[in-house]
Amino acid sequence: MVNYKNIVVAVDGSKEAEYAFKKAIDFAKQNDDAKLHLVNVIDTRSFAAIEAYDRSIAEKAQAFSEELLEGYKKQAEEAGVKNVNVIIEYGSPKTIITKELSKLVDADLIVCGATGLNAVERFLIGSVSEAIVRSAKCDVLVVRTPEN
**Do 27 and 109 contact (CB within 8 A), yes or no?**
yes
pLDDT band at 56 (very low <50, low <70, confident <90, very high): confident
Rounded to an integer, the average pLDDT of 49-76 is 85
In whole angstroms, what is the distance from residue 61 CA to residue 136 CA? 26
What are the residues facing 7 on neighbouring strands? 36, 109
pLDDT of residue 148: 45
Highest-confidence segment of 2-6, 65-69, 92-96, 115-119? 65-69
132, 104 contact by CB (below 8 A): no
Burial 28-62 (b: 16+ CB within 10 A, else e): beebeebbbbbbbbbbeeeeeeeeeeeeebeeebe
What pLDDT is recorded for position 77?
96
pLDDT of 124 > 60? The answer is no
Euclidean distance between CA atoms 65 and 12, whole angstroms: 8
